[in-house]
Amino acid sequence: MDKRNIPISLPVTGEEEWQAVKEPLMTGWLTSGPKVREFENLFAERHQVKHAIAVTSATTALHLSLVALGVGPGDEVIVPAFTWVSTANVVLQVGAAVVFCDIDPKTFNIDPTQLTDKVTDRTKAIMTVHLFGLCSDMDAIKEAAPGVPIIEDGACAAGAAYKGIPAGALGDFGCFSFHPRKSVTTGEGGMVTTNNDAYGEKLGILRNHGASVSEEQRHHGPRPYILPDFDVSGYNYRMTDLQGAVGVVQLGKLDQFINERAKWAAYYKKELSGLEWLQLPEFSADYDHGWQSFVTLIDETKAPYTRNEIMEKLQERGISTRPGTHAVHMLNFYANTFDIKPGDYPGAQIANDYSMSIPLHNRMNELDFQYVVETLKSI
């Protein structure tokens, strides 16, 4: 088969998104307003939650969740050691201590069997990550740490579910990303969900500088010329209506995108199952995978080359790959600041050194998937 050029990810955007953006451009309502509110309502309905609050990123969604919980100096937050760095960064940014927990390399998610020993009387929250679109084992987490608030880092997990309950409705807060590498995108942007009315109100206030009413409420109220009062110190984490308009269109395609990815993930698993050096995603019927990424694990004791050599060979053939993500405890800042060794979290170290994400997105066609499979087999 002729050489192809297959990026690790590409968003699916086009005429519908372009037309959607015209409305806020023509009305002049560009900041957070009616299109953001429509996006929030649709997202809440799809994920079976009472409140969905649009923000600037999943990182700011995580930050607001910690602030809404009252997490601060003297508190501890448990975070998986294998995740994107922002999951840990936001804990430090509210003045709390990061307590890393190892992950299960078979799922890349937090290992509930190691949670109990991490919980202390200072533990204010568990920040569990639904990595690559696979929900965490929520029952086991709640059993291991009963009563501890749970923040779902569902950056990769829009549309995913555990035992029929959507991501974002499984814990006290759910945090989502709409970065272009995610299933649906608004460019940058995020969402925080909750079923708690008090948290929902607090999140809405905090993301808008701490204002007692939103700009849209004030604009349409009887006295739009009167500025709102500010009872708390908040942040400017508002999503724009330009992003909200794109989000409305993208969300309408979410299930179609996931179904397409699930079809080709099944194809990968069938065709690549004969490679004894390649661990493929495995999970039970309890999980509805969101398939943000298709992440494998390379067994270098059986593989013909190292993980990095295999990635280089694929790149030479036009196939983009990436490590799944990084082990945060191995990044220079965390390793040096807190004197953490790579082997302190062996599961995360394995995932860091041997995981490999291969292309899985909705801009690929049948020939692309065949090419990836044939190239991997030829290695």
Q: Which residues are catalytic?
A: 182
The side-by-side arrangement of strands in the sheet containing 161-162 is 165-166, 161-162, 287-288
Whether the CB-CB separation of 189 and 165 falls below 8 Å is answered with: no
Residues sharing a CB contact under 8 Å with residue 256, sequence separation 6 or more, in sequence order:
none
152-183: burial string, b at 16+ Cβ within 10 Å, e else: bbbbbbbbbbbeeebbbbbbbbbbbbbbebbb
Whether the CB-CB separation of 234 and 202 falls below 8 Å is answered with: no
Map tokens 């053939």 to a residue.
Answer: 317
Alpha carbon distance 28, 321 (integer Å): 41
Count of CB atoms situated within 10 Å of the CB of 150: 19
Whether the CB-CB separation of 216 and 159 falls below 8 Å is answered with: no
Nearest CA to 211 out of 226, 225, 231 is that of 231
Local structure of residue 209 (DSSP, 8 states): T
CA angle at 240 for the pair 236 and 245, rounded to the nearest 5°: 155
Whether the CB-CB separation of 245 and 42 falls below 8 Å is answered with: no
Beta-strand runs (E) in the chain: 51-55, 76-80, 97-101, 103-104, 109-110, 123-129, 150-153, 161-162, 165-166, 173-177, 190-194, 278-279, 287-288, 294-298, 355-358
Alpha helices, H only, 213-306: 215-220, 241-251, 254-272
